[in-house]
Structure 1
Amino acid sequence: MKFALIRPATGEQALSGLAERLRSSEAHVTFRVGDQKIQTPCPDADYADAFRLLLAELDRLDLRGDVRVVGHRVVHGGERFSRPARIDAEVLEQIRACIPLAPLHNPANLAGIEAAQEAFPDAAHIAVFDTAFHQTMPEVAYRYAVPDAWYREHGVRRYGFHGTSHAFVAGEAARMLGRPLTDLNLVTAHLGNGCSVAAVRGGQSVDTSMGLTPLEGLVMGTRSGDVDPNLHDYLARQAGLTLAQVTDALNRESGLLGLSGLGSDLRELEAADAAGHAGARLALDVFAYRLAQKIAGMAVALPGLDALVFTGGIGENSADMRARTLRHLALLGLTCDEDRNARTVRGEAGAIHQEGARPVLVVNTDEERMIAQQAADLLGGQA
């Protein structure tokens, strides 16, 4: 769970932080206030516990009363939302209606909204949708080759996710390259526990790897990414598994966790790989290979490729994973400068390609700032 208290006009963060490894003995919340970093252990804490710790920290700093607007990241907005929306009963109902499309995410988003509305009853609450940025995809990119009635009657199509991050880093990449965003053709790779790539032409999404739900596409922390659509039927017949059991396993027990047999945290897998663990090496190699495949596939949606952008917890911090991936992409003229790549971690953004080659950039995403700015813009600067 990420959070930040931001003054949109300046981007200044009065407080920010991250709750991670929740529901484990190593759960903790890290608060950042100015240059000060405070880590609070909270073994076995869940999201609600982490939110209570955030409120306690706001109270300790006497900042809770400063909150005028709460921007909420909502994973799935379907075709209904192509931009942020002020949360009211109708918007809540629309978010609830999208639960079948994001059963792991939208219920948690709704729970967060309800908790925040109780904690900040006088604030404006704004939903910013992960899917909204990808509503510019052309029909050739978002339609599945399935019966037309499934799309017309049930909304079966590709939606895409991580839109706030893809939009932000595309803008930052344009700034770093010193070129107008409207002139650029980019592939952006958001890599964290959830992962996706996007083709961004002139600042607009024209294709992305995630689909109807956040399960499609790349190998992720615990999500499988692409599998044969007949997998459910096969496992029902061969292993006696129910539809729900297979779906749950593809979401919670697959990806890096399933391949390695160790865990979903890339940092742990890289350490295990260095120690000779075969499962960890396989997981990392499959992750990189599938990522390179999708990056190459996204280039098809563009008239040319001006730069590849890495972002997200893995994209910003794993020099090893970036190097593994780029080794597969020489055909696109994408290279990796070993020294540049090694230096570009822990908040250091910049170019990691070899001199004279096609740009490969590491850009630090700032979804919180993007959400804050979009929320303020929706309110006409009243924030």
Structure 2
Amino acid sequence: MILKKTFASVALAAAVLFVGCNKDDDNVDPSIPTVVSVSPANDDTDIERNAVIEFEFSEEMDPATVNTTTFQLKQGSTLVPGAVAYEGTTATFTPTNSLAAGTVYTAIISKDVKDLAGHGIAEAKEWSFTTGGSTATIAPVNLGTSANYVVLAKTAINNSPTSAITGDLGISPAAESYITGLALTDDTGFATSAQVTGRVFAADMVSPTSSNLTTAIDNMNTAYNDAAGRPSPDFFELSTGNIGGKTLSPGVYKWTSTVTVPASITINGGANDIWIFQIAENLTVSSAVNVTLSGGAQAKNIFWQVAGEVTIGTTAHFEGVILSKTGITLGTGASLKGRALAQTAVILDANVVVQPQ
């Protein structure tokens, strides 16, 4: 009798469990879409200020319902303007302007986003992330005595006449003979040229020129390493390196490949703002492209740190201090307001080069 009672109790418990499982399964509607991933993820930090927000659904959604009404990005209570794009199961939000540095942003997907059958997500999705970059004023790159030169190189300065250069030129450890095309006239410790409003210095000239150039070259190397080593970039891989047509706000920019400028760009900011461009490969500026400054931005506060070669196309105009690990070439008729500081050679061809004030 006891055995029969125990068996009956076990059977009853199993039946209750079976019914309960079926009831739970009935509450899970497989037709309801879900958000399966977001990027940046919740609580992510050091997000680049040019980040594109991405979110993926469990199934294809009705594109008409994926828009700036059903997706919003906010900084506090302020709505961030931008554009939503949708394809397949993935949507993206691209802010109209760069995000602020060191700031918390909240992303929200509403229940009004629906799949092709008209089912909305079960509940709104909300998550937050924090941008990187520095909220403090960026310190300029200290050029040391390399700032005494508008053109400074280690191996050669080659010019195809006729250029117009305002500022001093220097070369070290190479000798004066490695400066060509400037028709130099020697003086004591320096040389002059009709194409240079300033003086030309080389490592084999009388003291103290040689030691001054050694210090300047050392300072140039230090400045390059300073620019390359600035941490926490504000902008990472902006436009995958094609920055043509962009307006660039102050900050530290980083690319792990070549940067191209196929169309004119604007560098916009105040007189004391700083721009540091960290480029792991080459910098190539197309012919007839202009770099324009606005808002009071100054060429002396713009630093282009380039691990590869720098090529400025014919008749192009460029602004800023170029710190090249290798060489700098200015195409025929190109102009530069800034400095060309190269750890190999600088090649000129009927150029206008003016040092910044």
Q: Note whether the superposition's TM-score is higher than 0.5.
A: no
Task: Give the TM-score band, short-chain normalised.
Answer: under 0.3
- Asked which structure has the greater CA Rg, the reply is 2
Give the alignment's TM-score, normalised by structure 1: 0.23
Comparing both structures, which one devotes a greater share of its residues to strand?
2
